[in-house]
Amino acid sequence: MSIVQYENRNGIAVIAMNNPPVNSLGYALRVGLMESIDQAMDDAMVRAVVLTGLPKAFCGGADISEFAAGTFSLAPRLFDVITTLDNSPKPVVAAISGACMGGGLELALACHYRVTLADAQIALPEVHLGIIPGAGGTQRLPRVLGLEPSLNAIVSGATQPAETFHGTPLFDEIVTSDVVTAAVAFAGRIADVRPLKRVRDMKVEHPNADGFLDFARQQVKAAFPRFPAREKCIDALHAAVHMPFDQGIDYETELCETLMRTSESKALRHVFFGERATSKIPDVPPDTPVRPVARVAVIGAGTMGGGIAMCFLNAGLPVVLLEMKQEALERGIATIRKNYENSARKGKLSTEKLEQRMGLLQGSLSYDDLKSVDLVVEAVFEDLGVKEQVFRKLDEVAKPGAILASNTSTLDLNKIAACTRRPEDVIGMHFFSPANVMRLLEVVRGARTGKDVLATVMGLAKKIRKLAVVSGVCDGFIGNRMVHQYMREACFLLEEGALPWQVDRALEKWGMAMGVFRMNDLAGNDVSRLVRQRQYVEYPDMKFSGIADKLCDLGRYGQKTGAGWYRYEEGKRDPQPDPVVETLIVNHSQEMGISRRKISDQEIVQRLIFALVNEGAKLLEEGIALRASDIDMVYLAGYGFPSHRGGPMLYADNQGLYNVLRAIKRFGRGTPAPDLWAPAPLLVRHVAERKNFN
């Protein structure tokens, strides 16, 4: 079937884009559009044109893959198509349904009229790729919508339903069904109306536009200091107010092309493709049969179990929440209700939806209530013996074909699966706390996990709005295996002369959402200690600093005890540097015979981030992670890594792997943990072969 379909309906040419799934404006579609427009212009019997797309997507915008391939600017460019529509001597009506985003909206704005379905989704989301609308969006949208709503739409990149714009010149007609028929009828009515209505001929009207834009600029600078695209949006809107249209278009193009070359834009484009790549598993075809999941059980009603239950309740799935004691069960259910009530108070959830979700929740004290569920997620204490006991019981009661999932964050999934007679049904679903908020879901594939089970869980992740990344089995999987090295090195920095608040401040200034010691206080230092105690036995040659254990010996487990690496005032979560911790660290250094020295923020960041990179390279070498971008997505979605840097592996690429390897060798000289700084063989090979991770 042709990528562009052409039909003459009684003198109205209907040009339909047909490039599934979202009608991205790649080279072939641009050529097809130009040829169809020329055909309509050359046909004397055609009085007007209707431009439409797929039911689910009028047009999703530019083909982002062309940015890297270099075909983005190959003629005919999107700008050429838009100019052709704008200059058409015959009226062109856009018939919009589904997604109308980015270049798709710019295409529609170049048409003389726009008819849309009320539920069509409208956006100029280019800022999420570190650029601005580059095909007239910043110049045309304020002319039809006004300066303030256009600025809000362009700077946020937010998607809004078309009905939001009822009564504005953005849409000439909003319908509820059969938008193409409505647009053809509309085109017939206006076919002979002249002069043609062109957005470019309109003016941007706003009282005190300069004052408004200056105020907006200050807000954007404060809110997005590391993302230049948003401020450049305001520059482009300023041009829309003050420059002639063609000059404003040229300025917009210049800004967009400059931004496209920035490291921030390259990182955000890496995120765009990386998130889509996570679902591609080489030996699991897209058409792999999946198992039905209509009813879920969660074992454990604590913080993690309750959050996991909410993920499924939010997606409309009934959940059985199992606990061993009535008091713990009631407390867990009450916490879930309280979380929903907090959302309702903030206007994020209606009372009706709150009660609908709570109505899907069934509390239980008996494994017998799990006999009919399709998926069980275990979220009990992080101890192998405890989890093995749970899975033996599940093996007895769960129906054939039920998926048995563990929320373990570090333990050997293959040992857990071996406790059952159906290891092919066992998989890891490692949620991140708070589970109902964090996007990341590490999907751990055991040695005998069925391909249909893996495909089912990956599909289910989308339903519960999680970014699922597949990991093989190892201690800590992708995220926590790397973070263990991150934390080990952070404690060695304390021994040498740093303090927790200096380390955290350096990381946060660099862009991390939370420093390593604040993160541990939030998660619970007792949790980290439990992992270390297991590692002391399983990896006797692995060297650790003793500082973290000494902290736990004082009962300083973090926020939950009011004291950890920091102290916390009652009812507050703000970390306060504590002289007690400083004394503990300084005394420890003296006991170890270490002369403390001043450590720069640059050294702190390099040692910690390159510790992540080196371990990530080992994960790739071992096949635990499928691709470098998967590691990046884990750290962006689960560990607060700054998106403008694109993840640890992309950051290493951008720094130059030769420079990274050189620094790792330098850090390894005289280290108390030679295993941590032993260069990953893959990193060494990549440097020798002049390759990157991504």
Say whether 106 is catalytic: yes
Q: What is the CA radius of gyration of the chain?
A: 28
Among 106, 378, 496, 615, the one annotated catalytic: 106
Distance CA 267, CA 44 (A): 49
Buried b (16+ CB within 10 A) or exposed e, 299-317: bbbbebbbbbbbbbbbbeb
Count of alpha carbons within 13 angstroms of residue 346, beta-carbon side: 7
Which one-letter amino acid corresponds to residue 345? Answer: R
DSSP state of 15: E
* Adjacency order of strands within the sheet including 375-378: 361-364, 319-322, 296-299, 375-378, 403-406, 426-431, 440-444, 467-471
3-state secondary structure of 649: helix
51: β partners: 15, 94
The Cα 616–Cα 692 span in angstroms is 13
Quick check: helix, strand or coil at residue 629?
A: helix
Alpha carbon of residue 193 to chain centroid: 47
Per the listing, tokens 């790729």 go with 129
From the list 485, 487, 469, the residue with the least C-alpha distance to 625 is: 469
Sign of the dihedral defined by the CA atoms of residues 208, 209, 212, 217, in that order = negative
The closest alpha carbon to 401, from 290, 309, 287, belongs to 290
In angstroms, the CA 584 to CA 567 distance is 14
Q: What are phi and psi of 625, to 5 degrees?
A: -105, 140
Residue 293 and residue 456 in contact, taking contact as beta carbons nearer than 8 Å: yes
Contact 441, 461 (CB under 8 A): yes
Cβ count near 331 (within 10 Å): 14
Query: Between the CA of residue 50 and those of 14, 78, 94, 106, 259, what are the distances in Å?
Result: 5, 18, 6, 16, 34
Are 611 and 485 within 8 A, CB to CB? yes
Contact between 26 and 77 (Cβ < 8 Å): no
Distance CA 572, CA 94 (A): 54
Is 47:12 a contact under the CB 8 Å cutoff? yes
Residue 46 burial (C-beta neighbours within 10 Å; 0-12, 13-18, 19+): middle
Q: Helix/strand/coil (H, E, C) string of 399-413?
A: CCCCEEEECCCCCCH
Tell me the HSE value of 141 on the side-chain side, using a 13 A CA sphere.
34
Catalytic residue among 7, 126, 257, 378: 126
Helix (H/G/I), strand (E/B), else coil: 126: helix
Determine the Cα–Cα distance for residues 487 and 475; give it in Å rounded to an integer. Answer: 15
The tokens describing 114, both together, are 């726009």
CA 59 to chain centre: 22
Residues taking part in catalysis: 106, 126
